[in-house]
Amino acid sequence: MFDALVLDRSDGELTVDVRSLTLDHVPDAGDDEVRLQVLYSSLNYKDALAVTGKGNIIRGDYPMVPGIDLVGRVLESASDAFVEGDRVIGTGWQLGEVDWGGYTQRAKVSARKLVSLPDGLTPKQSMIAGTAGFTAMLSVMALQEHAVTPERGEVVVTGASGGAGSMAVSLLGALGYEVVASTGSTEAHEYLRARGASRIVPRNEFEDGPERPMESGRWAGAIDAVGGQTLATLIAQLQRHGSVASFGNAGGHELRTTVFPFILRGVNLLGIDSNTCPNDRRRTAWERLATTLSDEDFEQMTARTIGLEEIPSVSREVLRGAIRGRVVVDVQS
Ligand SMILES: NC(=O)c1ccc[n+]([C@@H]2O[C@H](COP(=O)([O-])OP(=O)(O)OC[C@H]3O[C@@H](n4cnc5c(N)ncnc54)[C@H](OP(=O)(O)O)[C@@H]3O)[C@@H](O)[C@H]2O)c1
């Protein structure tokens, strides 16, 4: 028997509780199934929506175990890719949305959805990062691949106090960039400076959209959690051959821009999708996370470590924006 947080529907009502299950309850994961002792998971905004029944996150059948991230130890593997005792990370690939996710002490996951925990990263640190850190690292890699180097000038991060935004600030800071954090949260300024921001700009500088298709070039690069008018402003304010990595829509999903910044300044709009990121790139991103952030960075970014029972109440806090930093779920506690 093991414990899992189970979302269920009865008479149209969503229920969420910790249940004792056996492996027979867990849907099979296919020919390359890996059975895991899950060690940690994390609580992302998307998980908070799923657990509270908002945002149509769950697309699989009920009952469902949510949690888009997990790290675990291999107990049995039908795939040559892993052997008993290996430590592996799973993020995205429909975990906790279509397939059962990480809020459990045991899981069955397809080997295709797992990568090895890199040397230098503890299981807990991997979940302090979670999808937020992984997405931030993919964004940084995309900028680097487009020649956005620290010498080129300031890089702005929007939604900077959020999970992925603050990870992006930390990563850029650790890599020697001049990081400008854009935030709507005045109480986050100190936290963002401690993460590596050299300057803070208010969120409302971007959210009305650009006044002209091209404004003066302020940024060598940008990492955007917000979308909408904010992203349109960033595109108009990128320097010649600058790039923006777009991963979020916290402020809107529409994008109104013109082709001028692209054809007259050669700027690049780089899309980031952590969910279906190919495994080679996943491995690289996780290795880069392990070598870029220090133990102290991970510690300072941990808002709270909670057990399975606390997930519903802490999810409500996450949705209220009451938590700064990452929430780690110690599923074995
Ligand atoms: N593409 C991917 O693979 C991927 C992966 C992870 C997340 N995401 C998406 O990325 C976004 C951020 O995710 P997260 O986990 O970092 O979420 P989060 O922790 O909730 O952070 C979002 C941040 O955006 C800012 N914000 C919130 N509402 C806003 C609004 N109406 N206008 C402007 N800014 C607003 C806030 O930062 P400030 O208070 O500092 O302004 C907030 O902290 C979400 O849209 C999420 O769905 C995408």
Give the pLDDT confidence of 115-152 residue by residue, as tens digits. 999 999 999 999 999 999 999 999 999 999 999 999 99
Domain with CATH 3.90.180.10 in the chain: 2-117+297-330
What tens digit of pLDDT does each residue of 267-312 get? 999 999 999 999 999 999 999 999 999 999 999 999 999 999 999 9
Distance of CA 167 to the CA centre of its chain: 9
The pTM assigned to this predicted structure is 0.97
Q: How far apart are CA 68 and CA 81, in angstroms?
A: 22
The CATH class that applies to domain 2-117+297-330 reads alpha beta
Tell me: the pLDDT tens digits for 206-260? 999 999 999 999 999 999 999 999 999 999 999 999 999 999 999 999 999 999 9
Q: Is the CB of 162 under 6 A from ligand 1?
A: yes
Please name the fold of domain 132-271: Rossmann fold (3.40.50)
Distances from the Cα of 181 to the Cαs of 16, 25, 70, 212, in angstroms? 36, 45, 29, 23
Structural element, H or E, at residue 330: strand 326-330
| Parts of the chain belonging to CATH 3.40.50.720 | 132-271
CA angle centred on 281, ends 168 and 108, rounded to 5°: 100
Q: Does residue 64 have a pLDDT over 90?
A: yes
DSSP letter string, 112-168: GG-EEPPTT--HHHHHHHHHHHHHHHHHHHHHHHTT--GGG--EEEESTTSHHHHHH
Ligand 1 pocket test, candidate residues 42, 43, 45, 171, most atoms within 8 A of CB = 45
Any idea of the CA torsion for 8, 14, 16, 19, to the nearest 10 degrees? -30
Sorting pLDDT into bands at 50, 70 and 90, what band is 321?
confident
For atom 30 of ligand 1, the residue with the nearest CA is 251
231 CA to middle of ligand 1, Å?
Answer: 13
